[in-house]
Amino acid sequence: MKIVTTFEEARRGRGGLVGLVPTMGFFHEGHLSLMEAARDRCDTVLVSLFVNPLQFGPTEDLARYPRDPERDAALAAEAGVDVLFVPSLEEMYPHPPLTRVDVATLAAPLEGASRPGHFAGVATVVTKLFAGLRPDVAFFGRKDAQQLAIVRHMAADLSFPVEVVGRPIVRDVDGLALSSRNVYLSAAERVAALAISRSLLAAARAAEDGETDGSTLETMVRDGLSAEQGLVPDYARLVSAADVRPLDRLGEDAFLAVAARAGTTRLIDNVHLFVTDGRVEADPGIRLARPSLLGKGD
């Protein structure tokens, strides 16, 4: 595996179908499953590792965001990645950027409502990665479902010849959706956090059994979150998977999205609900058979 720091080096000497997995590092099995999907599908697998300051608000965790570049490089090499692109801040933003990519209406609800500017930061850096690395296929996790919808729209609106692929959420043995931020959780906070996946998966089962009323599904999730004292819920919403529009009724591909705080850590999770000819199939994600590499908190 080559480790490179410039766009120019990352474009050199590659062949065939080029797959990109954009990341902010501190890899877990969610990242590894994206790399594996890219490896299965593409001739050249490129992974970018850049903690993007543009997508962090002034009070967010940019400085303490978990980092371990050596471990990341070893895991990427083991996953069969060809090129690990680790740009410096200067390579990514040679000048303070005047241009922002804002997928306006999609960025407003859910995460956008409590993280102003976050999705413009994401869309801007992903635009730069698409423009500078020119992948044919790019792989994103469904855990960040709103981000996935925004990236799809951005790629279509700006005519990038990139296929954007969404992959299932990877869950730890106990159901917690993997996130680099899970390392912030204490053991007690982690136990409280399990109410998120538990209530989402229960609502997904109700949807598969025929419940299509949006507010009933949302209430099921909210009740599950409120029953857990260690959690402060932010939202539980049923939205369209295509454009994050709130849905009163489940009649198209959708996701039930949750954000909640456990201690000082904000967690998000969702369950995708695919609708074909009125039948609902939920994607519960992939459950690990062994505890994640990230460990279980302190």
Interacting residues toward ligand PAF by CB under 6 A: 22-24, 52, 55, 122, 125-126, 144, 147
**Nearest to ligand PAF of 52, 182 (CB atom):** 52
CB of 100 to ligand PAF, least distance (A): 14
- Secondary structure class of 137 (helix, strand, coil): strand
Which is catalytic among the residues 31, 118, 153, 272? 31
CB of 230 to ligand PAF, least distance (A): 26
What type of residue sits at position 85? F
CB of 151 to ligand PAF, least distance (A): 7
Alpha-carbon span 180 to 162, nearest angstrom: 26
Q: Does the annotation mark 31 as catalytic? A: yes
CB-based burial of residue 70 (10 Å sphere; 0-12 exposed, 13-18 middle, 19+ buried)?
Answer: exposed
**Nearest to ligand PAF of 146, 199 (CB atom):** 146
Closest CA to 227 of 202, 256, 255: 202
**Nearest to ligand PAF of 198, 272 (CB atom):** 272
Rounded to a whole number of angstroms, the distance between the first and last alpha carbons of the chain is: 33
CB of 23 to ligand PAF, least distance (A): 5
CB of 279 to ligand PAF, least distance (A): 31
Alpha-carbon span 54 to 116, nearest angstrom: 11
**Nearest to ligand PAF of 126, 204 (CB atom):** 126
- Secondary structure class of 261 (helix, strand, coil): strand
Alpha-carbon span 121 to 103, nearest angstrom: 11
- Secondary structure class of 96 (helix, strand, coil): coil
The first and second tokens of residue 84, run together, are: 């690990």
**Nearest to ligand PAF of 225, 241 (CB atom):** 241
Indicate which residues carry an active-site annotation.
Answer: 31
